[in-house]
Structure 1
Amino acid sequence: MALREAYGIDGTPLAYRVTGIEDGRPLVLLHGWAQSMNCWGSGVLDALAANYRVIAVDLRGHGYSGAPEVGYDDSKIWAGDVAAILAAEDVTSDAVLVGWSYGGLVIADYLAECGTDAVAGIVLVGAITSIGRGQQGGRVGTAMRDAMPAALSENPGDAIRALGSFGTALTGDTEGVGPQSQALFGASLSTPPRVRAALFGRQVAHDDLLAALDIPALIVHGTADRVVDVSAGRHAADLIPNATASFWEGCDHGPFVEDPDRFVAEIIAFVSSLG
């Protein structure tokens, strides 16, 4: 499927791919920090595309999207990116936004600025919803803390060692995930260092938004997540009035990698519950 392009409110080109059922419910997939639209894996994307219209996005600064010098600290710009893609695909209602890791924060940015008129539900996967010192919804795990600040360095040796220290945190120790683990590592390295750093350069609290959210949410989070601490997922589940929580015992930061069949089944069950 060919890449499509929309433009953010600052003119940044945003790359995405659309697969699946043309008139199906839109499922908008937003990846995490220093990743790309390919992070979900072809098996998960194909399985979701058999049921929905899947819109997989490269966030600004990542993958094939543009990487402007500024704007990564502005929630309105992040919200505008999601709004631009929805508008380009003529999505005005019934969308489900699925955010992994930093993608959860982008979802919260969008909802804070644009509301829920176009959205039927959200899925937060190992996600943060706020960011900055003292934000419970942005608490990171040991692997992320240990990798900083070297993971933001322009020095190749420092960055490779730091990002490599994530080890299996993104994928878990599941047999046969080596190729996907390497692909995720490659995506991290290909994200410009200035972008990797800029994404942490803001302080945003979305607790009030979550507490007043008027649409259902599914929280999927591994109890052994070393990138985003499971307490961030529990915090979101406690705040959102209509939240379904699925905490995967012993799972690390990538539930869709460790058990793609279970991940797809939980997404389908949640979306089906939306009517």
Structure 2
Amino acid sequence: MLLSRGRNLALTLLLFCASLYAQDKHYTVVSSDGVPLAVQETGAADGQPIIFIHGLLGSHLNWEKQWQDPVLQRFRLISFDLRGHGLSGKPEQATAYTESRRWADDVAAVIKGSGAKKPLLVGWSLGGAVNSHYLAAYGDQQIAGVLYVDAVVELTPTQIPAHPQVYQDMVSADLKTHLAGERDFLRLCFHQQPDTATFERLLANAALASWQMQRVVPQMKVSLAQGLGKAKVPVLFIYGEKDQLVNPQASLARARSVNPHIRTLLYAESGHAPFLEEPQRFNRDLAAFAESLQ
């Protein structure tokens, strides 16, 4: 009898714990201009929502070291593939990528479609610019905080180091040259280069990205003062000190000029992708920041 009751109690506890965690979910939401966006979820169904926004040439697969870390499983982890990337729609019109409101509407569509209440937005690289677009268009009433990771603050020469040959090759009409440019761009993302399997997956990510998007996205104007400058929620910036694609000091100086209340963390052993290069530290810092918002 006692053994039976013990088994029933263990089963009840197991089912209760399982109910607290969402199975990985994959679904689609549609942005304001009809672009379908692929959304993914894992973690605790009733946890603090965190929405991850990847960078140029990426997809939700960029966040695998966050998805797999037990430290973050108590949060509701939500990612989506940006327009022109991964499994999301890839419109051909240039305005689909140069108009900041389109990117802002994508984030709003994910928040609404997922039903996330007061999420933390985590934007890496281009995703940082998307953070600012969202803040400019929608304000911060529907979110709890914002994390910028090696973010594109503005597309200016002082903030974006020159790699003219790489960027030229990335938009070449010649497939071999184009793929070589994608590879070289990804190499520049890292101070600590990833293992072969990870790099190959990231390169496949890049090959899925829209060529049209890559050609025109440098024309995008980042809504910095209207977005970050007006944010009242907590804002944290994390940069790898050895970033070769974004100048950390120039970017942080510009961010502080419009919002002196931002917090900053610098990772001495990371390049452009600290969440992949120093994932344990990044995940601890992310968890601490998310918990501070509750």
Please indicate, yes or no, whether the TM-score normalized by the shorter chain is above 0.5: yes
Cross-structure match for 1:4: 27
Question: 2:191 touches 2:269 (CA, 8 Å); kept in 1?
Answer: no
* More moved, 74-83 vs 199-208: 199-208
Structure 1 residue 270 corresponds to structure 2 residue 293: no
Distance 1:267 1:238, change over 3 A: farther
Cross-structure match for 2:206: 188
How many Å apart are 1:233 and its aligned residue?
Answer: 3.6
Letter in 2 for 1:227: L
* More moved, 59-68 vs 69-78: 69-78
Could you list the structure 1 runs, at least 4 aligned residues long, displaced by more than 3 angstroms after superposition: none
TM, length-normalised to structure 2: 0.84
Question: 1:177 touches 1:257 (CA, 8 Å); kept in 2?
Answer: no
Distance 1:121 1:80, change over 3 A: same
Given candidates 265, 273, 276, the residue that maps to 1:246 is: 265
How many Å apart are 1:54 and its aligned residue?
Answer: 0.7
Give SS of 1:165's match: helix
Structure 1 residue 199 corresponds to structure 2 residue 217: yes
Rounded to whole Å, the distance in 1 between the matches of 2:204 and 2:161 is 21
For residues 46-104 of structure 1, give each alpha carbon's deviation from its aligned partner in whole angstroms, at most 9, with x where no partner exists.
Answer: 2264121111110011100011112111111111111111111122x421000000001
Question: 1:123 touches 1:220 (CA, 8 Å); kept in 2?
Answer: yes
For residues 102-146 of structure 1, give each alpha carbon's deviation from its aligned partner in whole angstroms, at most 9, with x where no partner exists.
Answer: 001111111100111111111101111333x46x6xx2235x444
Distance 1:152 1:242, change over 3 A: same
Given candidates 56, 66, 81, the residue that maps to 1:58 is: 81
* More moved, 45-54 vs 211-220: 45-54
Structure 1 residue 103 corresponds to structure 2 residue 127: yes
Letter in 2 for 1:95: P
Rounded to whole Å, the distance in 2 between the matches of 1:52 and 1:234 is 31
Given candidates 30, 36, 46, the residue that maps to 2:68 is: 46
Give SS of 2:92's match: coil
Structure 1 residue 121 corresponds to structure 2 residue 139: no
Alignment coverage as a number of residue pairs: 267
C-alpha RMSD over aligned residues: 1.9
Ranges in structure 2 where 5+ consecutive residues have no aligned partner: 1-23
Question: 1:130 touches 1:207 (CA, 8 Å); kept in 2?
Answer: no
Rounded to whole Å, the distance in 2 between the matches of 1:152 and 1:193 is 6
Rounded to whole Å, the distance in 2 between the matches of 1:119 and 1:241 is 20
| Larger helix percent | 2
Question: 2:100 touches 2:223 (CA, 8 Å); kept in 1?
Answer: no
Rounded to whole Å, the distance in 2 between the matches of 1:188 and 1:243 is 31
